[in-house]
Amino acid sequence: MPVSSASTRSSLDFALRPPDAGQLALDERVRRSTPSERAEFAYQMRRQALVMVNHAADEAGPMSELDRAEFILRRLYPEFSDQQLAFIRADLARREAAGRWTGFTRPG
Amino acid sequence: MEPADFPRVRRAFESDYVVNAPIGSGDRKIASVVAQTGLGKADLILGRRDAWARSAMARRETWDHPRLGDVWALSLEDLILAKLEWSEGVSELQLRDCANLLRTNAATLDWSYLERHARVLGVDEILARLRAASS
């Protein structure tokens, strides 16, 4: 896909900005951790993200389980293309129609 | 992974995961596997055989993951190259990840390896700018 030089420049400029205090603190925490500690930290962060996104879905008001699934996936995995999300939605719809899917499990 | 293996992967995972069919063309096909719970996703790169991809596979390292057990992991240099390429120069998230990785690991990175493959992948200018900013 062609990318305009303006897009490239603005994204790179964003990445080149000096790290803020929060990023530096995170860098230091990562640097001090063992690989196993980093893996556990990453897992806990993913769990926390799932809780936050589910909370955001609750706050957004009533929606079908398929809409909720797409709402969650768009936020947890922003790298998904519309094409990939459409495929996932169609797959979940088939499972739902067959009684094999009733929505993403809410985090406990 | 080889494209011919994809149907086998699909069969193995599809009861508990949504298995996205490959998209893209040539050696840039990507599929994904998403847990039906919503927590957990893996991308599958299919049929990639260029020099960097072969090198990245050769340099991968085994690691005893505390939750997953034995896993293969890309080397740090190859992770950075993958992110730079994946970003296509416009993904702020990937570029920022690269900037952080370069800044926190500048002293131990194999820069000649990074620069050699970055040239071939067409991400050398972005790497140079990120390197300058991280030093």
Q: What is the pLDDT of residues B31-56, one digit of tens each?
A: 889 887 777 888 888 888 899 999 99
Mean pLDDT value across residues B66-80: 93
- Cβ–Cβ gap B67/A81 under 8 Å: no
In B, minimum Cα distance to A49 occurs at B39
Q: Tell me, what amino acid is at B119?
A: R
Q: Which of B40, B119, B110, B100 is nearest to B77 (CA)?
A: B110
Highest mean pLDDT pick, A7-11, A58-62, B82-86: A58-62
Strand, helix or coil for residue B79: helix
* Cβ atoms of residues A67 and A88 within 8 Å: no
What is the ipTM score, two decimals?
0.72
* Cβ atoms of residues A11 and B89 within 8 Å: yes
CA distance A102 to chain B (A): 10
- The first and second tokens of residue B111, run together, are 């820069």
In B, minimum Cα distance to A71 occurs at B38
* Cβ atoms of residues B13 and B33 within 8 Å: yes
- Cα torsion B103, B104, B107, B113 to 10°: value is -70
pLDDT band, very low/low/confident/very high, at A69 (cuts 50, 70, 90): very high
pLDDT band, very low/low/confident/very high, at A62 (cuts 50, 70, 90): very high
CA distance B68 to A33: 18
- Cβ–Cβ gap A11/B87 under 8 Å: yes
The pLDDT assigned to B53 comes to: 93
The pLDDT assigned to A74 comes to: 93
Report the relative pairing of strands B41-46 and B17-23 from DSSP bridges. Answer: unpaired
- Cα torsion A28, A31, A36, A39 to 10°: value is 60
Percent of chain A clearing pLDDT 90 (strictly above): 42
pTM of the model: 0.81
End-to-end distance of chain B based on CA atoms, in angstroms? Answer: 36
CA distance B16 to chain A (A): 10
The pLDDT assigned to A4 comes to: 53
- Cβ–Cβ gap B93/A79 under 8 Å: yes
In A, minimum Cα distance to B96 occurs at A15
Which element (helix H / strand E) includes B46?
strand B41-46
Examine the pLDDT at A94 and tell me if it is beyond 80. Answer: yes
Mean pLDDT value across residues A12-27: 85
DSSP 8-state symbol, B89: T
* Cβ atoms of residues B39 and A51 within 8 Å: no
Interface test with A, best of B16, B36, B43, B125 (most A CBs within 10 A): B36
Q: Which residues of A touch B21 (CB under 8 A)?
A: 87
Residues 56-85 of B with CB under 8 A from A: 63-67
pLDDT band, very low/low/confident/very high, at A1 (cuts 50, 70, 90): very low
- The first and second tokens of residue A107, run together, are 């985090």
Q: What is the pLDDT of residues A28-45, one digit of tens each?
A: 888 899 988 998 988 898
pLDDT band, very low/low/confident/very high, at A21 (cuts 50, 70, 90): very high
Number of residues that this document lists for chain A: 108
- The first and second tokens of residue A3, run together, are 């990318």
Mean pLDDT value across residues A51-61: 95
